[in-house]
Structure formats: C-alpha cells, structure tokens
Chains A and B, each alone.
Chain A
Amino acid sequence: MPNNFYNILVPVDFSPRSKWAIAKAIELANTFNCNIHLVHVASTNGLLIADAYTGMFAYNMSADMEFAGKKLQQLKEQYIHHVCNGGKIEISVLYGHPKTELKKYIEQFQIDLLIQGLSKFNLLHRIWSTVSISSLVRKTNIPVLAVRSSGLICHFKKIVLPLHDQVPMRRIRLAAMLGRYFKSTVYVLSVRNKNGDYHVPLLTETLEIIQSLTTIPVQSIILEGKNLAEATLKFSKKINADLIMVPSIKEFYLPGAWNKFTKSLLSYKSKIPVLTVDHNE
C-alpha cells in the first residue's frame, strides 16, 4: 500500500477544470512532499482529455504538441512557487490514445494518484469524465481523485467509505494513510439490502481491520435506501463529508436507466471530492 504519495499525475487539457486539479495536486503535494506530473495527451479522438484546440480544423500534430508544450511550461512557471517541501513539477506532452498513453506514463513514473478536474456545467463532459474515470481506474489500477471545484481539499477530516459485499482492503489502506495525515474520522457505511438485512459480519470485519492497521477513529453507519450511491451521497452531504471513497463497480452507479446506460458513478453527482479505486479490492 502507499504509505505516502510520491508522484501525482494531473492530465491537463488547459481548461479551468485542469487548473482546479492542479491546485488540488499542489495542496496534496505540499502535504505529502511529492512530485506533480502535468501531462497533456495530444489526440485526435478526444474522449477523456478532449483536445480543445483541434476541434473542426485539420489536425496538425506537431503544431499542437509544440503549443501544448509551451502552455505546460507556462503552467509550470505559474505554479512552481506554490510547491514547497522539495516537490517538483514535471511536464510532458504525449501523443496517442489518452488512456493508453496515460497508462504507459503511470507505469513508467510509478504514479500513485491521478487527479481529474470535473466540469461544473458541461453535462456532456461530466458524463464523459465520469465514464472515463471508471475506465481509467480499471485500466491504470491507480486511484483517481475527481474534484469538481476549487477550494481546499487537504482537510479530509471526514472520509466516507461505503461497503458493498467484500472487505475493501485497498480503500481501507488509502483511508488509513490519509486518515493518519489529516487526523480524519472514517465513516464506514452499509446499506440494508432488498430483504431489509444488512451485512453485520462485513461491517464488523471492516472495522476490525481498520483498527488493526491504524488508530484513526472509525464509525459504522447502517443506511436506509435502495441505491448505494444515492444513499452514500445523501449521508455524505448530511455530515458534510470531505471525501468519498468508492470502487469502480456498477453498485456505485447512480439510479436510473440513463445513469446505468452511461455508467455514471456517484462522482457524477457529487460536489464532494470522490476517490475511485479499482474494483479488485
């Protein structure tokens, strides 16, 4: 497990949401003394990191990459003074399919966390982003933190950890690590199933494991509701949570046919930062 983040990746498309992501990355980098990698993937099929500059015009790869390189350099110069504690900002321009290129980059530079800025108003991009987060998590096997607005995130005082049907070891490890840094409380949630039962052994086991790994305070909560994602969001808003940690599985899709079709994880609707980890927990 990471007992620390050493390298944080921010995919950059030069939109305002990239800047939110960079701002969050800097906050975390200053907490964990780690490096930030700003990466732009120039691509003709903009899905995840839609290339805002190619659009309807004939695509000129070298011009695009050169332009992106200059913009990244400007970003680096703009943010370098915000990074303290010895962290560095690395910049790279890649070409190819975004997910494939990011996966290669993540493996090469041993990235521990990816931060993705999400649009506030662009519905289409929000749907795409969320879908992409889900597939990116599956493909790269690293946690993806989705952030929707500027503002401090480095105070993860209340971490919500909803349970499904197995002990979420990866999320527990991450929560234990973040919890030690931020002196957080972890709220472990379980929702009653269709028969009205809830998974007591799973809840107990999860609590016991968290206590084996860390001394941070833990609370277990049993929620009413049919949809885990919706119940989690409702609870998180109620307690004013700072972070929700979910796996990339369908049980965490929002309710409704459209959400099911677009595979919308709860990060689609959440104003609270959502950390998505691979479902193979």
Chain B
Amino acid sequence: MITVIIPVLNEEKTISNVIRHCRKNPLVTEIIVVDDKSQDNTVSVAKEAGAIVYTSHVLGKGFSMKEGISYASNEILVFLDGDIDPYPENTVENLTEPLLLDEADFVKGTFARNAGRVTELVAKPLLNIFYPGLAEFSQPLSGMIAGKKNYFERIKFFNDYGVDIGILIDMYLMKARIKEVNIGYIENKSKPWEALGKMSKEVAKAIITKAQQQNPEDVTEEAVKSLEEINRQMHDVLQENLSHFHKMAVFDMDDTILKGRFIDACAKKFAFTAQLEDLRETETDSIILTKRIGLLLKGKTIDELLNVIHNIEMVKDIKEVIGTLKKKGYIVGIISNSYTLITNYVMKNVGADFAYANQLEFFEGKATGEVGMPFYFFGSPNSICGHSYCKTNAMQYACEKYNVYFKNCIAVGDSKDDRCMVGHAGKGFAFCSKDELLKKIANRQINEQSFQPILTHA
C-alpha cells in the first residue's frame, strides 16, 4: 500500500487535481496534505477532494515533509508537489514500481522540462566535486520522489531549497539503492532571477554542508580552488559580455523619480511622522539612522508597503526618458537609500535595468524592522570617494560590473545624500533640488518636473 504526501502553500487552484490524480492508483490508500498555513482555500479544497489535511507546526517544506512522514501509515511513501497540474499519466505507478519490485529503496522522478539553471550551474558541478556518484542524476533537485519510510525516518531534512538535494545525498550516504525514473513531461515555470540567487545559495549550502559533516577533510583545498576557479571564469565571461554598455545613467528614487519620499508617505500613513522627524534631527550617523528608520516599519506587511509606493506619483516622463536612454546604449539604474522591495517595484515600472538599495527584512510577509545594508554601499580601499557608506560606492560597483567609466556616467539626484554621486559622475544633474551645494556640485540643474533635459546631454 502507498501513502502520498503533498506539502502545500496557497495551492487551491491545483491541489484538487493533484489529489484526484493520486486516487486513480488503486494502491494509494492514504493521501496526506501538509499545509504550510495557506491563506487561501487550499485546506478546504484538499479535504473536499478526499485528502487528510494536517497543518504544519513549523513553516518550510522540509518540516512539512517530516511531519507528513510521521503521520503516514504505509511503508511506501510518495512525495508530490501541489502546484503541478497536470501530472503525467501513471506518475505514482512509475515512481513506486521499483520499490514494489524491491529493486530500489529510493526513487527520484525525472521529467522532460523547460528549465533547470540551478541544476546545471550549481548542483551538478558541486555534486561532481563532492559526490561524483550522484553526478549522473539528470535532475538531482526534482521534488517528485518515492521511497521506503524507514529510510526517510533517518533523514535530517533541510528546510529550504536544499531539501530535495539533501534527501538525495542522505539516501546515497545511507547506501540506499537509488533509481531515477522518467515520468514524462511537466510544464515547469522558470524562476525569476531574484529567486535563482536564493535557490543557488541554499542548494550549494546543502551540498557543501553535507560534505563537511560526512568528512571534513573532503572539502579540500583543491575542491575550494576548483569552485573559486569556476566562479572566476563565470564572472570573467559575464564581465566580457556586459562590457558593451560603456554608458550608464543612475537615478536617485525619492524626490527624483518619485514626486515624494517613500518613508515620508509611510510616516503619514502609519502615523510615525513625529518619530521620523525626531530621528532625522537627532541621529547624525547615516548608517544608524537607516537602521532606526527601518524599525519604524516593523510589522508592516509587504502589501501595505507596496500600496504606499503605488500611491506615490512618479515624474511623468521618466519611463519615456529611460526608454530613450536605453536606446542610446545606456544601462539605467536606481541607487537609493530606500528598500529593495520599493526600488524593485519602481525599477519594473519605469523599465530600469537595475536597482541598488537597502534590504528591509521580512518574516511571514511582515517587516521585521531589520535593515540589511548591501556591501556595495560600503567603502573599500579602492573606493573613489573614501566614504564609509555612500551611494558613490554603489555607483562604482555598477561601473565596474558593467565596465563603464565614471566619465561616461550620468547621475541624477536631489539631496545632500546625492552630492558625492552627482559630483563624481561625468555628468551630474541636480533635479528640482533645494540643496544649494548640490546645485554647485552638479554640472547641470533641472528645475522642472521633467527628465527631458538629460537627453540633450546624453
């Protein structure tokens, strides 16, 4: 008899079809859905479709899987993702057949697919170095697996993107008989690049951590050097490919692209204007000020913050001007002391290429109040201005990344914070600025709410 375990989070649209698919197999006597506190109707839909639903006590796929195992009453377990619809015919049969025939203890499902960058660029090279025996698996990160309960019970699960590769490595280390079976074609959407970074990190962490635990001497100097060399070569190739830009334009966000300041709008909406003013008057250290302002946003949800930015008007022609700059061969970015959540929203709306800002931390969709400050804002011995924390450092990082000379840079800003960046750029613009010194530092001034004058100098 077979138990199917499906960890889910907000999958009301697909879960009933997944359950129905499982029930087609007569050997499946138990379908367990472990819900990660969905905010939609996933639980009721799953119950209606005939599954036993448990709510996970701890968030994360790894914990959900572990809890599912503890509730399962059969010896053969199948794990399926709740967001795939449709599954190829006979998925459960294909996954369990080697187990029922006692040809394997653990089965990894592989499928024809249209994505897999982390698999090819991160997982496979690392497996080649640390676990050559697993390098032959075509999809080591696949989440469609089946296995014997007594093996699963001995595994320590990762709780992030590393969970699937972690299970595979543990099975390998337990000397379980592992088989990869093809289950057909699955439409799997490519993840956005922001998610790829997180996924790459967690997958790499899982592989390297397991290797270190197993045998610390295995993570040898040679392995580290191989990884560094791969990284260096990839970085060099990227640099070469990015070097065609030659020109860059960077914009401040608050009071420049936006007709207002995001944090001021938040202060107004969430009624902390007085506290914000107090902080600005008393705190002179810009790093501490940024951290303390972040605390004012503690508890605010992503939706609330996005709603604030949605209601701030942008300068009318920003999109058009950025479009023209890009046509002229400029790479266009936003460098702001605000938060990436907001700058990314603005970046997408105006069509910019990159956005550098601080990272407001979130947990369960709510701001923790912690602010992560990216390395590129901090000075280094090679920093052109020498300031310990400055937008110019971020601009320098971008210039080096895209192989652009400072003299081919346009910088647009409005406030004291932008003086250094505007001063160091080849062409600096003071945009509707009230800061007299910035006006002197900038080569040019724009006194109307339009970015068109930039184009005459671009």
Contacts and interface: CB of A to CB of B under 8 A. Distances in A.
Interface string A183-216: 0000000000000000000000100110011111
B441 A177 contact: no
Interface in B357-412: 383-387, 396, 405-407
Contacts of B437: 205, 208-209, 212
Contact of A169 (B383, B406, B441): B441
A1 B424 contact: yes
Given A169-B441, A173-B423, A205-B440, A213 B407 contact: no
Nearest to A206: B440
Contacts of B385: 176, 180, 213-215
Dominant secondary structure of chain B at its interface with chain A: helix
Given A167-B440, A205-B440, A209-B437, A3 B384 contact: yes
B423 A209 contact: yes
A184 B443 CA distance: 25
B5 interface: no
Nearest to A215: B386
B405 A4 contact: yes
B420 interface: yes
Contacts of A112: 407
A2 interface: yes
B426 interface: yes
Contacts of B383: 180
A214 B407 CA distance: 17
Given A209-B437, A209-B441, A1 B387 contact: no
A180 B405 contact: no
Given A1-B407, A2-B406, A209 B386 contact: no
B129 to A, nearest CB: 33
A6 interface: yes
Contact of A180 (B384, B416, B420): B384
A208 B407 CA distance: 23
A212 B406 contact: no
B419 interface: yes
A176 B420 CA distance: 11
Contacts of A3: 384, 396, 405-407, 424
B386 A214 contact: yes
A55 to B, nearest CB: 40
A212 B441 contact: yes
A209 B406 contact: no
Contacts of A169: 423, 440-441, 443
Contacts of B405: 3-4, 6
A212 B419 contact: yes
Interface string A247-270: 000000000000000000000000
A1 B424 CA distance: 6
Contacts of B420: 212-213
Contacts of A209: 419, 423, 437, 440-441
A263 to B, nearest CB: 28
Nearest to A177: B384
A104 B385 CA distance: 32
Given A1-B426, A205-B437, A216 B407 contact: no
A180 B396 CA distance: 14
Which of A180, A205, A212, A214 has the most B CB atoms < 10 Å from its CB? A212
Contacts of A216: 386
A3 B421 CA distance: 12
A173 B425 CA distance: 10
B386 A180 contact: yes
A3 B423 CA distance: 11
Interface string A128-167: 0000000000000000000000000000000000000001
B250 to A, nearest CB: 14
Given A212-B423, A213-B424, A2 B441 contact: no
A167 B423 CA distance: 13
Interface of A: 1-4, 6, 112, 167, 169, 173, 176-177, 180, 205, 208-209, 212-216
Given A209-B441, A213-B385, 15 more contacts: A1-B423, A2-B407, A3-B424, A4-B406, A6-B405, A167-B440, A169-B440, A169-B443, A177-B384, A180-B384, A209-B419, A212-B423, A212-B437, A213-B424, A215-B387
8 contacts: A1-B423, A3-B384, A4-B406, A167-B440, A180-B383, A212-B423, A213-B424, A214-B387
- What 6 A-B pairs have minimum CB-CB distances, sorted nearest first? A215-B386, A3-B406, A212-B419, A213-B423, A3-B384, A214-B385
Interface of B: 383-387, 396, 405-407, 416, 419-420, 423-426, 437, 440-441, 443
